[in-house]
Amino acid sequence: MKLFDVYPINDIVIEKALGSNVWDDKGTQYLDMYGGHAVISIGHTHPHYVKRLTEQLGKVGFYSNSVKIPLQVQLAEKLGQVSGKTDYQLFLCNSGAEANENALKLASFHNGKKKVIAFKKAFHGRTSLAVAVTDNPKIVAPVNETDNVVFLPWEDEAALEQAFQQYEVSSVIIEGIQGVGGINVASDSFLRKIRTLCDTHNAAFIADSVQCGYGRSGKFYSHDWAGINADIYTMAKGMGNGFPIGAISISPKFQASYGLLGTTFGGNHLACAAALAVLEVIEQDGLIANAEKIGNYLMEQLKSLPKIKEVRGRGLMIGIELPEELSHVRKNLLAKHKIFTGEAKPNVIRLLPSLALTQEHADQFLSALKEELA
Ligand code: PMP
């Protein structure tokens, strides 16, 4: 059988990883400013993470949701504590798309309504509802097409108000910082406006925190910067530091009732052990504060560099927009300087490193970029 050649890949085989570095099969060391697309939250092969997962694997790796799994309860408590949303309810699944799928469904179960407001350039995943609220017609199959989704321009309060007048809105789904769309930070005032309108119209505020959440922005959820509470937070990526796990955190108003949601693998022993280890490290090592500190440092330094058109982001979620003619810079960072970064458009470099990134790593990246811009 031949592998489905679905991703545009680099001709590199990673054989070893530690912290913010990875090594290929020839022993070449790389700096990882991409974090496997915002997945590596606490750093690669963190000893506490490896120990907890290995120990769990030796005890029980999986038994179905037909039995009590105390690790799930521990994870819910820990997540409530670290995120500051102690009265929320946790539902565990396996990916970001699945989390969004469940959030949109849950909102609609609750208020009985159908319309979803999403935003231009949004990315929410590739399953049927998640892709329907994603602003990329190329990845929407005919079977996923629906009249239930309205796409609004980013940050347009008037359009938002009008949509609430025009439709029976079930939910609004928004990334606090758009990731795939090019690192666009939602303003506090726009998020507050959504909050108010959702309250007035009994709609759910769904905060897609799959990429911008889990401490990456310098707060647990990037939506926290606006001082609001969402009705449902969705998360995945950094939650498992590479072990597949996703979740939704549900406010008291939208609590799920028995039988509405479910999945075979969600909340399995290994995934819970991974997610607990991640939260323990985030807390013990102060990684949310570190993300803010190193993120601020990087952004300040980047803003002082020549030729950069714009620097956008918060914490360790940063977009560097270069003039079109410098679109080759990202390729050179990898080929010459052995630094992995992400791409939004060819001229927008995305930084999504581990939250444990050090200032030395940041400086290594900055001096390589400086050299390329010179
Ligand atoms: N939401 C956002 C904001 C994302 O960035 C992504 C993945 N890039 C998803 C949802 C989908 O997550 P997954 O690939 O785990 O389904």
- Residue 8 reports pLDDT greater than 90: no
What the block records as the tokens of 322 is: 């270069």
The verdict on the CB of residue 97 being under 6 Å from ligand 1 is: yes
pLDDT score, position 253: 96
Q: Is 115 helix (H, G, I), strand (E, B) or coil?
A: strand
Q: What is the pLDDT of residue 305?
A: 96
For residue range 54-91, list pLDDT tens digits in order. 999 999 999 999 999 999 999 999 999 999 999 999 99
How far is Cα 177 from Cα 349, in angstroms, rounded to an integer? 15
Spatial contact of 241 and 42, defined as CB atoms under 8 Å apart: yes
Q: Give the atom of ligand 1 at the shortest distance from the alpha carbon of 127.
A: 16
d(CA 317, CA 319): 7
> pLDDT category, 256, cuts 50, 70, 90?
confident
Answer yes or no: is the C-beta of 180 below 6 A from any ligand 1 atom: yes
Average model confidence (pLDDT) for the chain? 97
Helix (H) or strand (E) holding 80: helix 70-83
Sheet holding 310-314, edge to edge: 310-314, 317-321, 348-351, 342-343
What's the distance, Cα to Cα, between the start and end of the chain in Å? 47
Residue 222, ligand 1, Cβ within 6 A: no
Interval 94-113 mean pLDDT: 98
39 lines ligand 1 (CB under 6 A): no
* Residue-level pLDDT at 258: 84
CB of 215 sitting under 6 A from ligand 1: no
Q: List, for residues 336-362, the tens digit of each pLDDT value.
A: 999 999 998 889 999 999 999 999 999
Ligand 1 lined by 135 (C-beta under 6 Å): no
Residue 12 φ/ψ, nearest 5 degrees: -135, 140
Residue 9, pLDDT score: 84
Helix, strand or coil, per DSSP, at residue 308:
coil
**How much of the chain, in percent, has pLDDT values that exceed 90?**
96
Q: Residue 276: pLDDT above 80?
A: yes
pLDDT confidence band for 5 (50 / 70 / 90): confident
CA of 208 to the centre of ligand 1 (A): 9
Q: Which residue puts its alpha carbon closest to atom 1 of ligand 1?
A: 124
Tens of pLDDT, residue by residue over 203-248, are 999 999 999 999 999 999 999 999 999 999 999 999 999 999 999 9
Beta strands at 204-208 and 232-235: parallel, antiparallel or unpaired: parallel
pLDDT at 7: 85
pLDDT at res. 259: 86
Q: How far is CA 69 from CA 76, 83, 131, 172, in A?
A: 12, 22, 32, 32
Q: In the β-sheet with 21-24, what is the strand arrangement from edge to edge?
A: 14-18, 21-24, 29-32, 339-340
Nearest partner of 167 among 197, 187, 140, 210, judged by Cα: 197
249 Cβ inside 6 Å of ligand 1: no
Pocket test for ligand 1, best of 119, 184, 185, 211 (most atoms within 8 A of CB): 211
> What whole-number distance in Å separates Cα of residue 374 and Cα of residue 189?
38
Give the per-residue pLDDT at 361.
Answer: 98
For residue 209, the ligand 1 atom closest to its alpha carbon is 3
Average pLDDT over residues 369-374: 96
Residue carrying structure tokens 């303003």: 187
Tokens of 60: 């029980």
Q: How far is CA 374 from the centre of its chain?
A: 33
CATH of 48-284, one of 3.40.190.10, 3.30.360.10, 3.40.640.10, 3.40.50.720: 3.40.640.10
How do residues 140-157 score in pLDDT, each as one tens digit? 999 999 999 999 999 999
CB-ligand 1 contact for 22 (6 Å cutoff) = no
> Is the distance from CB of 213 to CB of 38 less than 8 angstroms?
no
Burial class (CB in 10 A: 0-12, 13-18, 19+), 60: middle
Q: How confident is the model at residue 257 (pLDDT cuts 50, 70, 90)?
A: confident
Would you state the structure tokens that stand for residue 334, as one six-digit string?
């990898």
User: What is the residue extent of each domain of the chain?
Assistant: 14-46+286-373, 48-284
Distance from Cα 368 to the centre of ligand 1, integer Å: 29
What is the 8-class DSSP label of residue 356?
Answer: T
Average pLDDT over residues 359-369: 98
Statement: 14-46+286-373 belongs to CATH 3.40.50.720: no
State in Å: Cα 211 to ligand 1 middle.
7
